Structure 1
Amino acid sequence: MGPVKIAVGQMTAKNDLLTNYSTCERLCQQAAEAGCKLLCLPECFSFLGSSDQESLSIAEPLDGPLMEKYKQLAQTQQMWLSLGGFQEKGPDPEHRYNSHVLVSASGEIVSTYRKIHLFDIDIPGAPVLKESRGTAPGSDVVVADTPFGRVALTVCYDLRFPELFQELRFSKSADILLIPAAFTVPTGEAHWEVLLRARAIETQCYVIAAAQAGQHNEKRASYGHSIVIDPWGKVIGKCEDPLATDICVAEIDLDTVSSIRTRMPIATHRRYDLYDSRRSDGE
């Protein structure tokens, strides 16, 4: 297939659907002008509110008018879109889903992943974040075949659970890991890049991590630093300004994935008999 240009986006989403759409539209136009086939947008790309109730109030089904606008944007720009962290209507009035939606260049939803690990944490000196108050967890591990490789869909806090990424690589045959996020500043400073590079090295996959950046409201700020990492753990793309609304462009190449996996054949060295989750009890 050869190298393919992709773009990773960075933005400061607000509690305004129209403003956020305009920002995403501009980033998509930039990516198209750069010759990219895929644009990855961060978690909460369409809306980032200051309360659970605010986010619940704007949640829509995937066949609603807001997602339709993003599908039309993909079709207009002939661009695949990774829409990380959409507020999808949930299983009951008190909960939504945090959904990562992959849209093709023809404007069709190819796959949807509902975030399975919810961020419930109290960091000293930072706002208390309890995602489960207004979000229901998903239950499926999701990959999708695309023209540029086999893509795994995750969201933000999933990054801290390496067993998920082992499953995506060794059971689901992923080539590319999409990790849209809205990392807090303290956790981002401490762990963002090192965890992303670790996931790339462990799985021998490309990692594309689109990030929210800057001050969203009086309660919430995000770390930024959108990044692309190759299967050897090398950073091959990073937004020049870690907090600006922008894209960075990188090339991904499945030949690189194949070469690294051939030279370091960890898949054949894994002891499935000892620790693989597919092993049945008593084996």
Structure 2
Amino acid sequence: MAKSLKLASVCMTSGADKTKNIESAIAYIRTAAQKGADWVLLPEVFTYIGPYEKLYENAEDENGPLVKKLGALAKELNIVLFAGSMGERPLPGEKLVEPLEGRTGFKRVFNTTFVFGRDGSVIAKYRKTHPFNLMDSEGKPLYCESDGFLSGDKLQTLEVDGYHIACSICYDLRFPGMYERLSRTKAVDVFLLPSAFTTQTGMDHWEVLIRARAIEQQAYVYASNQVGEPAPGKSNYGHSMIVDPWGYVIANTGGTPGIAMAEISRERIDHIRTRFPALKNRRPEIYE
């Protein structure tokens, strides 16, 4: 069991050029590994941010070439790679709980995190549970991820290097019940949070919500975010960060592209949970 690990959280600007985005992501991964990172986390939709009518053609299924390429890279660099999220096509014949085509008539994809072990294999996969839908002042659709993305229907946890990890993506952050449910059977040590949080909401809510989830669950929140303008009129907040179980921000890229790096420790988690046993003091039978 690793007592402490060095984590890297990438802050980058993706756009509509998939090839360019992947090249940029790989460069960040290599830089993080050169700096000694044990784990590397990319942001949400790092492969493509562009018109939804081209989302399906820029996506791949779980057997696609990008999954193979990222697995080979994780093995080469001897890292655990949390590959942000990317558009994932459903497999042929896969049973879906929602129609493949959304409100606008485009074929939709899942918004999926793939996790690669040091041997290059996929050790976990998580499909975003909550698509972000923004309405105008009259309650009419303004910007709706559900126009391009299918909703995932399974939560995901995994064990890596002696840490119990739970997956979440961006808008999932706003649902504390999801985080509590993930930690109910076994306390989560690290929550993943690849994101494309907008500047408008990020200025007021991003750090506040991340620190709140860390404090509530007495866990690290390992968050990466898109930054800058992938397209005219759309701006992402950046500030990829790592927050410890006491709610301290221990690494933060700020509002520019880069890599936030910090060390996490098993000792820090255990110390806080022993001195302040809030997780053990829960009484869900009373309030559920």
TM-score normalised by structure 1 residue count? 0.92
Deviation at 1:16, TM superposition (A): 1.5
Q: CA RMSD in A?
A: 1.5
Q: Tell me how far apart the structure 1 counterparts of residues 191 and 61 of structure 2 sit (CA, whole Å).
A: 25
1:154 equivalent in structure 2: 168
- Preserved CA contact (<8 Å) 1:143 1:172: no
**Aligned partner (choices 116, 121, 139) of residue 103 of structure 1:** 116
SS in 1 for 2:67: helix
SS in 2 for 1:23: helix
Is the deviation greater in 153-162 or in 132-141?
Answer: 132-141
Q: Tell me how far apart the structure 1 counterparts of residues 46 and 13 of structure 2 sit (CA, whole Å).
A: 8
1:266 equivalent in structure 2: 278
Q: Tell me how far apart the structure 2 counterparts of residues 172 and 219 of structure 1 sit (CA, whole Å).
A: 42
Q: Which amino acid aligns with 1:114?
A: R
Q: Tell me how far apart the structure 1 counterparts of residues 76 and 136 of structure 2 sit (CA, whole Å).
A: 42
Mark the CA change 1:123 to 1:145 in structure 2 (over 3 Å): closer, same or farther. farther
2:142 equivalent in structure 1: 128
1:13 equivalent in structure 2: 14
- Preserved CA contact (<8 Å) 2:81 2:116: yes
Q: Which amino acid aligns with 1:247?
A: I
Q: Tell me how far apart the structure 1 counterparts of residues 145 and 112 of structure 2 sit (CA, whole Å).
A: 13
Q: Tell me how far apart the structure 2 counterparts of residues 89 and 177 of structure 1 sit (CA, whole Å).
A: 25
- Preserved CA contact (<8 Å) 1:41 1:210: yes
- Preserved CA contact (<8 Å) 2:168 2:193: yes
1:204 matches 2:218: yes
Tell me the matched-pair count. Answer: 271
**Aligned partner (choices 256, 260, 265) of residue 253 of structure 1:** 265
Q: Which amino acid aligns with 2:56?
A: L
SS in 1 for 2:10: strand
| Larger helix percent | 1
Deviation at 1:123, TM superposition (A): 5.7
Q: Which amino acid aligns with 1:67?
A: V
Matches within 5 A, 1:148-187: 148-187=162-201
Deviation at 1:148, TM superposition (A): 4.8
1:75 equivalent in structure 2: 75
2:246 equivalent in structure 1: 232
Identity %: 35
- Preserved CA contact (<8 Å) 2:215 2:247: yes
Deviation at 1:230, TM superposition (A): 0.2
Mark the CA change 1:172 to 1:55 in structure 2 (over 3 Å): closer, same or farther. farther
Where does structure 2 lack aligned partners over 5 or more consecutive residues? 91-95, 102-106
2:41 equivalent in structure 1: 40
Mark the CA change 1:148 to 1:47 in structure 2 (over 3 Å): closer, same or farther. farther
1:4 equivalent in structure 2: 5
Deviation at 1:188, TM superposition (A): 0.3
- Preserved CA contact (<8 Å) 2:195 2:223: yes
Q: Which amino acid aligns with 2:64?
A: G
Is the deviation greater in 84-93 or in 180-189?
Answer: 84-93
SS in 1 for 2:45: coil
Per-residue CA distance 1:208-236 (angstroms, 9 max, x = gap):
11000001012422110100000000010
Q: Tell me how far apart the structure 2 counterparts of residues 82 and 123 of structure 1 sit (CA, whole Å).
A: 34
Per-residue CA distance 1:131-152 (angstroms, 9 max, x = gap):
1112111111110110151111
Q: Tell me how far apart the structure 2 counterparts of residues 123 and 158 of structure 1 sit (CA, whole Å).
A: 21
TM-score normalised by structure 2 residue count? 0.90
**Aligned partner (choices 252, 256, 280) of residue 243 of structure 1:** 256
- Preserved CA contact (<8 Å) 1:4 1:253: yes
Where does structure 1 lack aligned partners over 5 or more consecutive residues? 277-283
Per-residue CA distance 1:34-62 (angstroms, 9 max, x = gap):
1111000000111111x211112211101
